[in-house]
C-alpha cells in the first residue's frame, strides 16, 4: 500500500491540495478534480470511441467469420486478426480509459484515507505521533483509515488537550494543531471523510444513493449512444447496468464519502462526454448499416427463452447419451461433427451392417443428425456437444474410431489416454489433394487413412518422408459420396425425370471460402450470361444463404425480369441434387462440387480463378501435383476474374459444343484418380471387419 500511495496518492494529493487551496471547499475541489480528469482524458475518450466505432462497423463481418470458421478456432483467430489489422481496430484501446480510471480511483482512495499526508502535508514522524495517539484513544483495533480517524478524533473538543500534549514537544506543535482544527472536509453539510455505515442510516447515505442513481443514468445514456453498447445485445447491456449500479452503491458505502462524490461526479461528467462524442462521431450516422444488421440478428426475449429451454433439454439429453455411451461395450465407433457427414460413412456402414452382426456406435455433435431417425437396431446414435467430446474421447474405449474430422490431437478430438491401442481411421470426404487444403499436421496422428485415389497415397507417403513419421495404413477405399451420386444420377435418368429444356442449363455453385464467386464476381458473371440463350441457376453454399439472405434478395431484385422470364433462378432448396444433375455446365471457384459434378455426369466445368484457399503454406515443398489445380483445365476451362466479361459466355458455348470430347476425358480421369468406383463401401467395410477379426 505504501508503494501505491507513493506512485498514485502523492501526485493526485498535490493536485487535490492545489484545488482545495484555491477554492477553499473540499467537496468543490473534488468536483473540479473530477472535471479536470475528464477534460484531460477527453483525447483518450475520443480514441476509444473511434476504436469502438471501428469494431461496430466490422461486427457483422465478425459474426460471419464465426459462422464460417465454426469449429476452426485457429483459423478463426487468424481471420479476426487480419480483419482487425485491415480495419485498424485495436482490442486493447477500449480498456485504456478503464485502466486509467481504475488507477485514479485507487489514487483517490489513498488521498482520502491519508488526509494528514496529502491535505495537511504533515511530516511522517508527526503523522506517526497522531496515529499512535488515536490508537491509544480508540477502544477497538484500527485496521485502516488511521489518518482519517486521527483527523476526526483531533477535532473533538474532549480530545483537544490530549492531542495538544502529544504535539507540544514538536517544533511548531501549535501550528500543526491549528492545521488539524482548520481543515474542513464538509461539503453541503456532509463529512467527505466519513465512511457511510450500512447499518446506521444517516444523511451521508445520500452519497451512495447519488452514486447509484447517476450510474443508472450513465448506463442508460451509454446504451443509447456508445458504439460498444450498440454492438451488444440487450441482455448483455442490462447485465452490465445492474452490475455497474450495484457496484457503484456498494463502493460508495465502503469508502470515504469523498470517493463516492468523485465517483458520482465521474458518472455525471461521463454522460456529458458521451453526448459530446455522439455529436462529434454519431454511431448511427457512421455505422448505421452495421447497427441495423446487428439488431436484426439479435434474438427477441421470447427467442432467448425458447433457446434456453432447448439448451436445457439438450443438456439433459446429452447427459443421458453420455452415460449410455460410456456404459456400452464398444468395438467400432463412428464420430461426426454434423448431420451432413453421415453421407461420407453411409456406404461403409451399410456394408458392415449387411455383412456382420457388430453394433456400430455413432457419436455426433449434431442434436438434429438424421442418424437419429434411422430405424437400424445395430446402429446406435448418441448426441454429445463438441465441448464434452474432449473428455469423452480422452476416456474412449473401443477397437476402432472412424471419422472424417481432421486435426486429431490438435483441437477437441483427442486420442484416448485410457486405451492406447485404438486404431484411428480417417475417412476422406473428397478427392481433393491433402497437402493444399488441409493443415500440414492434419493427418499426422491418424493410424489409417482411407484414400480416394492414388494421389492421396503419394501425398501421405511424401509427408512421412519429410517428417520421418511412422508409415500409416493407407487403404484404397474410393469415395462413397461419388458412388451415391452416380446411383442417384443413374436412377434419375432411367426414371426419365429429367426435364428437357432447349436452353442449355448453367449451374453456378460457389465454394464457402473467402472471396468466393458470390462475394467477388457474381454480378459480372450474370451480366455476361444473361441474354445469351442460357438458363442459369445460382446455387449458393447453404451457409451463404443462411448469412446473406438480404444480399441474395437484393440480387434477385436487380435481375427480377430475368427471373420472370425463366432465364435465372436463385436456388435456396438443397434437399435435392436435381439441379446439379440436370445442368449441362457447372461454374464454380474452388468448390469440391466440381469433382462431384464432372465425375458423376461426365460433363465439363468452368473454373473462376478467385483467390485459392491455402491451409498448408508449405504445399509447394512436397513437389507433387495438386489435383485441385491440375484438373481445372482437364475437366473444363479456368478463367481469371477480370476475364469474365470478355470470355465467360464464349467459354461456356465452346464447352457445350465439345461436351462429347470431355465425356471421354473425364471417364479417363475417374479411372486414373478414383479407387473402386461403385465399390467404396465394400472396400472400406471389408478393411474394418478384417481389423475387427470378423
The per-residue pLDDT of the chain, averaged, comes to 89
| pLDDT at residue 498 is higher than 60 | no
User: In 3D, which of 288, 295, 282 has the Cα closest to residue 49?
Assistant: 282
Report the 3 state secondary structure along 553-570. Answer: HHHHHHCHHHHHCCCEEE
Mean pLDDT value of segment 657-683: 94
| pLDDT at residue 144 is higher than 80 | no
Contacts 24+ apart (CB under 8 A), 607-610: 607/632, 607/636, 607/637, 607/638, 607/639, 608/517, 608/521, 608/525, 608/638, 608/639, 608/640, 608/641, 608/644, 609/638, 609/639, 609/640, 609/641, 610/515, 610/516, 610/517, 610/520, 610/521, 610/641
What percent of the chain lies above the pLDDT cut of 90?
A: 53
Reported as a pLDDT band with limits 50, 70 and 90, residue 164 is confident
Tens-place pLDDT, residues 399-411:
999 999 999 998 8
Mean pLDDT value of segment 211-221: 94
**Which is higher by pLDDT, 172 or 334?**
334
**Which is higher by pLDDT, 173 or 43?**
43
The predicted pLDDT at position 142 comes to 61
Reported as a pLDDT band with limits 50, 70 and 90, residue 82 is confident
| pLDDT at residue 31 is higher than 80 | yes
| pLDDT at residue 24 is higher than 90 | no
C-alpha to C-alpha distance for 272 and 221, rounded to whole angstroms:
10
Mean pLDDT value of segment 320-346: 95
C-alpha to C-alpha distance for 62 and 290, rounded to whole angstroms:
11
C-alpha to C-alpha distance for 358 and 19, rounded to whole angstroms:
85
The predicted pLDDT at position 501 comes to 62
C-alpha to C-alpha distance for 347 and 336, rounded to whole angstroms:
15
| pLDDT at residue 1 is higher than 60 | no
**Which is higher by pLDDT, 500 or 334?**
334
C-alpha cell read off for 642 = 477480370
**Which is higher by pLDDT, 647 or 168?**
647
Beta strands 400-403 and 332-336, pairing class: parallel
What percent of the chain lies above the pLDDT cut of 70?
A: 97
Fold of the domain spanning 498-673: Rossmann fold (3.40.50)
Q: Do domains 307-479+682-691 and 498-673 have the same CATH topology?
A: yes
Reported as a pLDDT band with limits 50, 70 and 90, residue 496 is low
C-alpha to C-alpha distance for 579 and 557, rounded to whole angstroms:
22
Mean pLDDT value of segment 146-150: 79
The predicted pLDDT at position 147 comes to 77
The predicted pLDDT at position 514 comes to 81
CA atoms within 13 A on the CB side of 80: 20
| pLDDT at residue 650 is higher than 90 | yes
Is residue 605 within 8 Å of residue 586, measured between CB atoms? yes
| pLDDT at residue 359 is higher than 90 | yes
Question: Residue 114, Cβ neighbours under 10 Å: how many?
Answer: 23
The predicted pLDDT at position 269 comes to 94
Tens-place pLDDT, residues 570-616:
988 777 778 888 899 999 999 988 988 999 999 999 999 999 988 89
The predicted pLDDT at position 139 comes to 65
Tens-place pLDDT, residues 38-60:
998 899 899 999 998 998 888 88
Reported as a pLDDT band with limits 50, 70 and 90, residue 354 is very high
CA-CA distances (angstroms) from residue 590 to 74, 129, 593? 22, 82, 9
User: In 3D, which of 414, 483, 33 has the Cα closest to residue 261?
Assistant: 33
Tens-place pLDDT, residues 377-398:
999 999 999 889 999 999 999 9
C-alpha to C-alpha distance for 231 and 52, rounded to whole angstroms:
9
Rounded to the nearest 10°, the torsion over CA 265, 269, 270, 275 is 150
The predicted pLDDT at position 287 comes to 85
C-alpha to C-alpha distance for 248 and 209, rounded to whole angstroms:
9
The predicted pLDDT at position 374 comes to 93
C-alpha to C-alpha distance for 268 and 277, rounded to whole angstroms:
15
Domain 307-479+682-691 has CATH 3.30.2010: no
Mean pLDDT value of segment 515-529: 92
**Counts of helices then strands in the chain (DSSP H, E):** 34, 15
**CA geometry: angle 281, 284, 289, nearest 5 deg:** 125
The predicted pLDDT at position 236 comes to 84
Mean pLDDT value of segment 190-213: 90
The predicted pLDDT at position 111 comes to 82
Q: Return the domain boundaries, the chain.
A: 123-182, 203-297, 307-479+682-691, 498-673
Tens-place pLDDT, residues 425-474:
999 989 999 999 899 999 999 999 999 999 999 999 999 999 999 999 99
Mean pLDDT value of segment 217-221: 93
Amino acid at each position: 500500500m505504501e508503494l501505491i500511495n507513493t506512485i498514485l496518492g502523492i501526485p493526485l494529493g498535490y493536485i487535490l491540495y492545489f484545488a482545495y487551496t484555491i477554492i477553499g471547499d473540499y467537496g468543490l475541489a473534488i468536483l473540479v478534480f473530477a472535471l479536470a480528469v475528464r477534460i484531460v482524458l477527453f483525447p483518450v475518450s475520443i480514441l476509444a470511441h473511434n476504436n469502438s466505432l471501428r469494431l461496430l462497423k466490422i461486427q457483422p463481418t465478425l459474426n460471419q467469420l464465426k459462422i464460417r470458421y465454426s469449429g476452426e478456432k485457429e483459423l478463426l483467430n487468424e481471420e479476426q486478426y487480419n480483419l482487425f489489422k485491415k480495419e485498424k481496430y485495436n482490442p486493447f484501446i477500449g480498456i485504456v480509459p478503464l485502466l486509467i480510471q481504475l488507477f485514479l480511483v485507487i489514487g483517490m482512495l489513498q488521498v482520502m484515507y491519508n488526509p494528514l499526508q496529502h491535505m495537511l502535508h504533515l511530516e511522517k514522524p508527526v503523522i506517526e505521533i497522531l496515529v499512535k495517539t488515536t490508537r491509544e484513544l480508540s477502544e477497538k483495533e484500527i485496521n485502516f483509515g488511521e489518518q482519517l480517524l486521527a483527523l476526526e478524533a483531533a477535532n473533538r473538543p474532549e480530545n483537544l488537550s490530549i492531542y495538544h500534549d502529544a504535539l507540544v514537544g514538536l517544533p511548531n506543535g501549535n501550528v500543526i494543531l491549528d492545521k488539524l482544527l482548520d481543515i474542513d472536509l464538509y461539503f453541503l453539510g456532509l463529512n467527505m471523510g466519513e465512511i457511510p455505515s450500512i447499518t446506521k442510516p444517516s444523511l451521508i447515505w445520500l452519497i451512495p444513493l447519488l452514486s447509484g442513481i447517476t450510474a443508472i443514468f450513465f448506463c442508460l445514456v451509454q446504451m443509447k449512444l456508445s458504439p460498444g453498447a450498440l454492438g451488444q445485445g440487450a441482455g448483455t447491456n442490462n447485465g452490465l447496468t445492474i452490475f455497474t449500479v450495484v457496484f457503484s452503491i456498494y463502493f460508495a458505502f465502503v469508502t470515504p464519502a469523498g470517493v463516492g462524490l468523485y465517483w458520482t461526479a465521474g458518472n455525471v461528467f461521463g454522460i456529458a462526454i458521451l453526448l459530446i462524442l455522439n455529436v462529434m462521431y454519431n454511431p448511427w450516422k457512421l455505422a448505421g448499416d452495421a447497427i441495423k444488421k446487428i439488431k436484426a440478428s439479435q434474438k427477441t426475449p421470447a427467442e432467448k427463452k425458447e433457446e434456453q429451454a432447448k439448451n436445457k433439454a439438450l443438456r439433459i439429453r446429452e447427459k443421458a447419451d453420455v452415460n449410455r455411451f460410456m456404459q456400452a461395450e464398444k468395438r467400432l465407433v463412428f464420430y461426426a461433427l454434423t448431420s451432413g457427414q453421415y453421407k461420407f460413412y453411409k456406404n461403409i456402414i451399410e456394408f458392415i451392417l449387411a455383412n456382420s452382426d457388430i453394433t456400430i456406435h455413432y457419436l455426433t455433435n449434431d442434436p438434429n443428425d438424421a442418424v437419429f431417425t434411422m430405424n437400424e437396431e445395430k446402429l446406435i446414435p448418441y448426441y454429445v456437444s463438441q465441448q464434452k467430446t474432449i473428455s469423452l474421447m480422452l476416456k474412449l474405449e473401443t477397437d476402432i474410431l472412424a471419422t472424417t474430422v481432421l486435426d486429431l490431437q490438435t483441437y477437441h478430438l483427442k486420442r484416448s489416454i485410457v486405451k492406447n491401442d485404438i486404431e484411428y481411421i480417417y475417412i476422406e470426404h473428397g478427392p481433393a489433394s491433402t497437402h493444399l487444403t488441409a493443415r500440414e499436421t492434419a493427418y499426422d496422428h491418424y493410424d489409417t487413412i482411407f484414400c480416394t485415389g492414388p494421389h492421396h497415397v503419394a501425398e501421405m507417403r511424401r509427408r512421412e518422408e519429410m517428417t520421418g513419421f511412422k508409415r500409416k495404413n493407407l487403404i484404397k477405399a474410393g469415395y462413397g459420396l461419388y458412388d451415391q451420386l452416380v446411383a442417384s444420377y443413374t436412377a434419375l435418368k432411367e426414371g426419365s425425370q429429367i426435364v428437357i429444356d432447349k436452353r442449355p442449363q448453367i449451374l453456378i455453385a460457389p465454394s464457402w471460402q473467402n472471396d468466393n464467386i458470390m462475394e467477388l464476381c457474381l454480378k459480372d458473371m450474370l451480366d455476361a450470361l444473361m441474354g445469351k440463350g442460357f438458363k442459369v441457376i445460382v446455387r449458393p453454399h447453404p451457409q451463404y444463404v443462411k448469412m446473406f439472405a438480404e444480399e441474395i434478395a437484393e440480387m434477385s431484385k436487380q435481375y427480377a425480369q430475368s427471373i420472370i422470364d425463366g432465364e435465372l433462378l436463385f436456388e435456396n432448396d438443397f434437399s435435392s441434387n436435381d439441379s446439379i444433375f440436370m445442368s449441362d455446365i457447372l461454374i464454380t471457384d474452388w468448390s469440391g462440387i466440381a469433382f462431384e459434378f464432372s465425375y458423376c455426369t461426365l460433363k465439363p466445368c468452368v473454373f473462376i480463378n478467385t483467390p485459392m484457399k491455402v491451409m498448408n503454406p508449405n504445399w509447394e515443398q512436397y513437389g507433387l501435383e495438386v489435383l485441385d489445380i491440375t484438373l481445372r483445365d482437364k475437366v473444363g476451362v479456368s478463367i481469371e476474374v477480370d476475364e469474365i466479361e470478355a470470355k465467360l459466355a464464349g467459354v461456356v458455348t465452346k464447352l457445350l459444343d465439345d461436351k462429347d470430347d470431355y465425356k471421354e476425358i473425364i471417364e479417363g480421369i475417374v479411372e486414373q484418380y478414383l479407387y473402386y468406383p461403385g465399390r467404396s463401401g465394400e472396400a472400406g467395410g471389408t478393411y474394418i471387419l478384417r481389423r475387427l477379426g470378423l
